[in-house]
Structure 1
Amino acid sequence: MTPALAFNDLTLGYDRLPAVQKLQADIAEGSLTAVVGPNGAGKSTLLKGVTGAFAPLQGKVEFGALNRDDIAYLPQQSDIDRAFPLSVVDLVAMGLWREIGPFGWLGRKQRGRVEAAISSVGLTGLESRPIGSLSGGQMQRALFARLLLQDARLVLLDEPFTAIDARTMADLIAVVRNWHREGRTVLAVLHDAETVRAHFPETLMLARELVAHGPTEQVMTAENQFRARQMCEACAGPPHVCGREVA
């Protein structure tokens, strides 16, 4: 079967200093995969590399069954400017930008889809609320509603369950599992091992380099987690100290 994504000797980084090095892995179409590893392991960098935000220093990201037009990407909440004057409905409607363009207007059908997405994440009644006034959980619900409207075959989530309440987390995990049932490919950066084990059948463990990739119960072992910490600690200083600088 053609994979959704193939990382072929992929090296990503900043100013020629790698954050991810020589990654070789295939992500199966329709898979639900957690990306795990210690802080500084290159997890967020990997997702940005898939979106095309970073050009590879070496190697490449190949889209087998998919392409970059099929991507919906959720960054960390800390990367989002919540001071921008947008309402919930404005934010969610941005999920239709490919359909209506940056200056398009919403017809009756599109407005119905926006309302349905807002309802599906439990935000009915908050459509006019400025996003700057939302709680962390409400903001994440709104961002998931925007993802729903993008209707993408590949969904990238960067720490989607951080700093939200348990009910919101359960509701959003249900959305993710529904994407999986629909055959979409989901790649999510996560920190909580129990969430990974409970809900993500596949796991890719990074420590700048690949530690392990495969079924979660085989990857999330104490031995692999210890090895990942050791690998990141060994390269905690400037990358050239570890011989990582790309010529």
Structure 2
Amino acid sequence: MAPAISLDNLTLTYGKHPAVHHLRGVFQPGSMTAVVGPNGAGKSTLLKAIAGVLPPAQGRVSGIDVRAARRLAYLPQQAEIDRSFPISVADTVAAGAWQQIGAFRGVGSELRRQIDDALHSVGLDGFQRRAVGSLSAGQFQRVLFARLLLQSASVILLDEPFTAIDARTTSDLIALVKQWNGESRTVIAVLHDFEQVAAFFPQTLLLARELIAWGPTGDVLTAENLRVMRRMSEQWDEDAAICMRGA
């Protein structure tokens, strides 16, 4: 069973600017949650904090030991991933198993089978020797999901996983996300498409640097909550200091 992840008075900064203020709540074990809000709302910053990439300015994230790498898988936005390095699809997917094989062990027959199975699951049979730099955005995202399959993590963090990819790829990858959720893994995804959220994600966290609502998606994505979101985003002060209320 995936662990519960608790946010206790979590305050985050990014580039010395306020990003998330005094966020409290719990991602329940095995939940499937969309994190939504306007641009600059702190959504990606929140995922980085849960993944242990960004230390809190105040408060804490508890319930997941980020040092136990096999328990957590984090997929950043495609724009943050360098595709210019000459590496094959198979080697990229194999990186998902580095905790199992170590940095210097070769790819044995069992791992090769796992790579083939993962690529089959994402619809990329026969792509093992292709260079990742030659792939379309949708194909590359399928490769990254195949790598996640090899990690077998109990907590999966996805930052805008369906942005700038075709509808068929989106549908196939959403099916994988639903499969993970069916296996009682905790899935947290930053998304922009509210129709997609309403259709597939039972839980939603609506964020505009501060928490607006968190709970069942139908209760969160109300007209009133979205009005509050827009009003709060219009009032942002990029030069504001981090407040210390709730410390």
The normalised TM-score by structure 1 is 0.94
Root-mean-square deviation over aligned CA pairs: 1.7
Asked if the contact 1:159/1:189 (under 8 Å) is kept, the reply is yes
Task: Summarize deviations over 1:91-141 as a string: whole Å, max 9, x none.
Answer: 101000111112221111111111100111001111111111100100000
Asked if the contact 1:205/1:213 (under 8 Å) is kept, the reply is yes
Alpha-carbon separation, structure 2, partners of 1:244 and 1:234: 15
Asked if the contact 2:159/2:190 (under 8 Å) is kept, the reply is yes
Alpha-carbon separation, structure 1, partners of 2:14 and 2:35: 20
Asked if the contact 1:16/1:246 (under 8 Å) is kept, the reply is no
Equivalent position of 1:53 in the other structure: 53
Question: Percent same amino acid among aligned pairs?
Answer: 55
Alignment of 1:46-125 (within 5 A): 46-63=46-63, 66-68=64-66, 69=68, 70-125=71-126
Letter aligned with residue 163 of structure 1: A
The normalised TM-score by structure 2 is 0.94
**Does 2:31 correspond to 1:31?**
yes
Alpha-carbon separation, structure 2, partners of 1:142 and 1:3: 27
Alignment of 1:205-216 (within 5 A): 205-216=206-217
Alignment of 1:1-247 (within 5 A): 4-14=4-14, 16-63=16-63, 66-68=64-66, 69=68, 70-235=71-236, 237-240=237-240, 243-244=241-242
1:78 Cα shift?
A: 0.2
Letter aligned with residue 92 of structure 2: L
Letter aligned with residue 214 of structure 2: H
1:53 Cα shift?
A: 1.0
Gaps of 5+ in 1: none
1:28 Cα shift?
A: 0.2
Alpha-carbon separation, structure 1, partners of 2:152 and 2:101: 14
Alpha-carbon separation, structure 1, partners of 2:243 and 2:17: 5
1:16 Cα shift?
A: 4.7
Query: Runs of 4+ in structure 1 displaced over 3 angstroms?
Result: 243-247
| Count of residue pairs brought into register by the alignment | 242
Gaps of 5+ in 2: none
